[in-house]
Structure 1
Amino acid sequence: MCKEMEKKRHEDLAEIHLGNLRKESHTIISNQLSKTVLIDSEKEILAKEQCIIKKTLNGAYRLDKIPNKKIIYHAYSGCYSETLTKAIKDNRLMSTILAQYFDGSIYYLSAEVFWINQGGMAIPPHQDRSYSSEKQLSIIVPLSLNINSKYAMSYSGVEEGTTLDHNLSISNMVYYAKSIQQYVFSVNYKPTDIILHTQYSMHKSRSMPRDGKRITYARYLAKRNN
């Protein structure tokens, strides 16, 4: 009986979050991870970052545009936390949401990491569909315990299916959305929360000053296994 009640609770919560995804293209699942998991995961990732930079560990990455400093802006492979991966895969609510989002189809997860660095590049306002139009769900985990909301990744509610025109910045090789004056961005999450967003989500960050505190984000990208 207890297992059935727990399953029903997860299904009801999943439907709430799926509704948020339909209305705003993102949702925040509160208090899903312990601070210990966040601390251990960030340490593991930062150690791997240094190994990737020193080429003692394979990984696809892009360096930030900071003069005289070698620091990663986005790691596309190789830089992930086994501790965090286990916590995500063992999260029953997350599994329920993913199963319903992909209509029971088999999906796979790939792991990435990105940073908002001191004196580094901002994340321009964009939808992930500007890079890939296939159905996907991003699982975003803010790992840093001290997040300055002024520079953290922020979201604006966009109804699922809304498509905005994007331009490509040749200097930074990133896409950015045009005509976003009507959108209001905010940071409504905290460490220990998990953010889910679809390919239609509108998100961005401001550029952090050199005296700021670096913010680490883990990203798991879920796609249907065709």
Structure 2
Amino acid sequence: MMMNLFSSFDPTSNFNLSLNWMSTMIGLLMIPPMFWLIPSRINFMWTKIIMTLHKEFKMLTKQYKSQGNTLIFISLFSIILFNNFIGLFPYIFTSTSHMVLTLSLALPLWMSFMMYGWINNTIHMLAHLVPQGTPPVLMPFMVCIETISNLIRPGTLAIRLSANMIAGHLLMTLLGNTGTSITLMMINILILVQLMLLTLETAVSIIQSYVFAVLSTLYSSETN
């Protein structure tokens, strides 16, 4: 019996080391060796996904001449998707449900975009603080609102990913804990519900990694 509802998200320590964080890297062993050796079906599928993302991110960044500007966002999508999928397996630590990881991804990106924008495109960044067509009376208020919305961007990116990962896992944990106190018929229904929730969590894992990468791309496009 769990002492705390959120104890399933605790990085339990062994030998004074949080070994659960190794799930971020150890899952690489689960990738089939054929993916690395020769062009396989998995390789072709992943290449197709990467090329689709490259075309979309290229349109969002509005930089058609540079060929490698989308690489960081595709890598960001890949690592978040990978960690989200790893967290779906039983007894494996969900690293993306912790703000330590999500904020570590969002904050350096946002800081680098802001430093680049304010150093190289100061006039452009100042123009972003006042939307086009704003009445002169509302301009001071709009500057305050835009500044606050800009400052909270890394926090919203991190919290969105963490909250979505926690919500589905918590619901599955709550339903799973009721299995010992219900009838056989209800257990069958519970298994079906859990399977549907697992399918939903798989979709959420893909969507949240895509949303994180797309929003990061949009934030970078505002600095150019």
Coarse TM-score class (shorter-chain normalised):
under 0.3
More helix by share: 2
The two structures have a TM-score, normalised by structure 2, of 0.27
Give the structure, 1 or 2, with the largest relative contact order (CA under 8 Å, sep 6 or more): 1
Give 1 or 2 for the bigger CA radius of gyration: 2
The two structures have a TM-score, normalised by structure 1, of 0.27
